[in-house]
């Protein structure tokens, strides 16, 4: 980690940038309880399959009851594990999400939640902030904000609940990017919030104005949270996929993308699995693009090799973005993170003092039990 005095990366418990060539072991999710919103289809369903196969207990929340129940039935049979569940959850409805988290905690074999994936999302079917067709109306109709409700408000509700439930996960430890890579350490209880952004978090998508607004919001949420979530010991990461063929891309979108090189769902699953499995990773954001051939130039820079690749290029589909956010921070951020860090350390001391107090009290009680003559009448 940088020793730059303007860096707050270490103070915010941020891990070092990701090296995609480093292996990761998805089997470390075994026994963990993972909640996925929008888990009945697309990415959510693919994460479900991958992590359930690796031994995790997966609980999905979705508005599509029939798809949700049927995927749970299939994965229970495939994994011979009945700890996978579907719970009806509409992410736009606060109480529905509260019930999802409460119910999931009860169903979790160890009574806690190790990881939450804020994945549910919809696309804009009738572009809202387009030029109105009829300018003769006295006033325009109220805009339809469903995309913001699902893709931003829903994610904020999920995040708020995750920051409450994850630190309560019994036996979990606060995030520590420097902990060992030992299997035992990696498989211990976790506190992980994985946000699903999009390429639309980083660039505009014409006619998907609200979608782009919501996904930029998710990026903003991630960049803010990675300065502060360490105070509850929660690690927060983000995946921003390029277009992938799932149910979210409707006919017109598919027509515009015809013949284009799309990203692959297995690369999205790999990126999410890397972040899910390596419990040291915190505050990192991965973009998953279509695989591109990249070659190293004589100056040591990576360059797209285009069609002229002569077999020397490397396929790359994973890119890290906003890598250096915390490396060169402004005075306000430095001081705020510094203060929060001091409070975090202080909490540690307060807990240590109260644990010690309780231990001394217990010792005194035990001594009275062992040496009854010490009891005062
Ligand atoms: N497929 C892509 O090209 C792409 C690219 C970048 C980001 N994303 C994002 O990935 C996430 C998953 O999308 P996907 O491609 O798997 O799409 P998908 O349509 O296959 O899956 C989305 C799931 O969310 C559920 N859902 C919708 N509204 C909900 C609500 N109110 N409450 C709970 N669940 C709800 C749907 O029923 C569905 O099961 C979304 O956040 C999406 O924006 C997708």
What CATH number corresponds to the domain at position 115? 3.40.50.720
Same-domain check for residues 169 and 93 = yes
Same domain, 364 and 270: no
**Contact status, residue 255 vs residue 243, Cβ threshold 8 Å:** no
Distance (Å, rounded) from C-alpha 295 to C-alpha 300? Answer: 9
User: Is the confidence at residue 69, as pLDDT, over 70?
Assistant: yes
Q: In angstroms, rounded to a whole number, what is the distance separating the alpha carbons of residues 102 and 205?
A: 36
Domain extent for 89: 26-329
Task: Note whether 361 and 273 are same-domain residues.
Answer: no
Give the model's pLDDT for residue 98: 98
> Is 21 inside any structural domain?
no
| Number of domains comprising the chain | 2
Looking at residue 250, its pLDDT comes to: 86
Taking residues 328-352, report their average pLDDT. Answer: 85
Residues 103 and 237 in one domain: yes
- Residues 235-256: what's their mean pLDDT? 93
Q: How far does the centroid of ligand 1 lie from the alpha carbon of residue 154, in Å?
A: 12
* Tokens found for residue 123: 């696309």
13 assigned to some structural domain: no
> From the CB of 147, is ligand 1 less than 6 Å away?
no
88-110 pLDDT tens trace: 999 999 999 999 999 999 999 99
| Centre of ligand 1 from the C-alpha of residue 119, in Å | 6
Per-residue pLDDT averaged across 333-356, rounded? Answer: 82
**Residue 18 belongs to a domain:** no
CA 43 to ligand 1 center in whole angstroms: 7
Annotated active-site residue 142? The verdict is: no
The pLDDT score that the predictor gives to residue 67 is 98
Task: Examine residue 199 and state whether it is found in any structural domain, yes or no.
Answer: yes
**Do 293 and 186 have their domain in common?**
yes
In a domain, 59, yes or no: yes
Span from the CA of 101 to the centroid of ligand 1 (angstroms): 19
Q: Looking at the structure, tell me whether residues 305 and 361 fall in a common domain.
A: no
Same structural domain, 368 and 324: no
331/307 Cα distance (integer angstroms): 46
262 lies in the same domain as 356: no
Q: Does 42 sit in the ligand 1 pocket, CB within 6 Å? A: yes
Q: Tell me whether residue 8 is in a domain.
A: no
Ligand 1 pocket test, candidate residues 158, 246, 251, 257, most atoms within 8 A of CB: 246
- How do residues 275-330 score in pLDDT, each as one tens digit? 999 999 999 999 999 988 888 777 777 777 765 556 677 888 999 999 989 998 99
Kindly give the number of the ligand 1 atom that is closest to the alpha carbon of 122: 27
In this prediction, residue 219 carries a pLDDT of: 98
Say yes or no: 305 and 323 in one domain.
Answer: yes
Does ligand 1 have an atom closer than 6 angstroms to the CB of 112? no
Q: Which of 11, 157, 165, 215 is catalytic?
A: 215
* Same domain, residue pair 67 and 187: yes
First to last CA, the chain: 60
Active site residue 344: no
Per the CB < 8 A criterion, the answer to whether 66 and 60 are in contact is no
In terms of average pLDDT, the best of 127-136, 262-271, 309-318, 366-375 is 262-271
- For the CA of 45, the closest atom of ligand 1 is 16
Whether residues 339 and 315 fall in one domain = no
Beta-carbon contacts of 287 under 8 Å, excluding residues fewer than 6 positions away, are: 199, 202, 240, 241, 242, 318, 319, 320, 321
Asked whether residue 10 is domain-assigned, the answer is no
Question: Residue 35 in contact with residue 113, Cβ under 8 Å?
Answer: yes
Residue 77: which pLDDT band, with cuts at 50, 70 and 90?
very high
Residue 14 domain-assigned (yes or no): no
Q: Please say if the pLDDT value at position 125 is more than 80.
A: yes
Predicted pLDDT at 377: 43
Tell me if 247 sits within 8 A of 41, measured CB to CB. yes
CB 37 less than 6 A from any atom of ligand 1: yes
Q: Which of 329, 351, 369 is the last residue of a domain?
A: 329
Do 318 and 307 share a structural domain?
yes
Q: Is the CB of 217 under 6 A from ligand 1?
A: no
Catalytic residue selected from 11, 32, 165, 211: 211
């Amino acid at each position: 980690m940088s020793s730059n005095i303007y860096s707050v990366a270490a103070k915010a418990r941020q891990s070092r940038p990701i090296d995609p060539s480093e292996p990761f072991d998805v089997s470390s999710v075994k026994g963990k309880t993972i909640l996925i919103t929008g888990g009945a289809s697309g990415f959510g369903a693919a994460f479900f399959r991958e992590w359930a196969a690796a031994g995790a207990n997966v609980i999905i929340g979705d508005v599509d009851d029939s798809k949700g129940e049927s995927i749970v039935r299939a994965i229970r049979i495939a994994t011979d594990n009945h700890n996978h569940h579907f719970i009806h959850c509409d992410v736009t409805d606060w109480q529905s999400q509260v019930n999802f988290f409460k119910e999931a905690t009860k169903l979790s074999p160890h009574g806690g939640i190790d990881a939450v994936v804020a994945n549910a999302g919809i696309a804009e079917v009738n572009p809202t902030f387009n030029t109105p067709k009829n300018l003769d109306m006295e006033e325009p109709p109220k805009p339809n904000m469903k995309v913001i409700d699902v893709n931003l408000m829903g994610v904020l509700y999920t995040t708020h609940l995750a920051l409450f439930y994850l630190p309560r996960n019994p036996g979990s430890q606060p995030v520590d990017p420097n902990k060992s890579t030992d299997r035992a350490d990696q498989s211990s209880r976790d506190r992980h919030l994985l946000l699903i952004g999009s390429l639309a978090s980083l660039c505009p998508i014409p006619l998907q104005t609200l979608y782009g607004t919501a996904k930029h919001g998710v990026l903003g949420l991630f960049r803010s949270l990675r300065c502060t979530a360490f105070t509850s010991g929660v690690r927060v990461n983000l995946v921003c996929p390029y277009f992938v063929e799932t149910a979210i891309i409707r006919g017109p979108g598919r027509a515009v993308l015809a013949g284009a090189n799309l990203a692959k769902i297995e690369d999205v699953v790999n990126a999410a699995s890397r972040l899910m499995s390596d419990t040291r990773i915190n505050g990192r954001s991965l973009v998953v693009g279509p695989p591109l051939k990249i070659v190293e130039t004589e100056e040591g820079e990576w360059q797209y090799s285009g069609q002229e690749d002569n077999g020397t290029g490397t396929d790359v589909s994973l890119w890290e973005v906003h890598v250096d956010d915390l490396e060169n921070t402004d005075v306000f951020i430095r001081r705020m993170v510094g203060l929060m860090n001091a409070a975090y350390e202080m909490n540690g001391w307060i807990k240590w003092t109260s644990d010690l107090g309780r231990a001394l009290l217990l010792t005194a009680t035990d001594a009275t039990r062992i040496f009854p003559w010490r009891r005062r009448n």
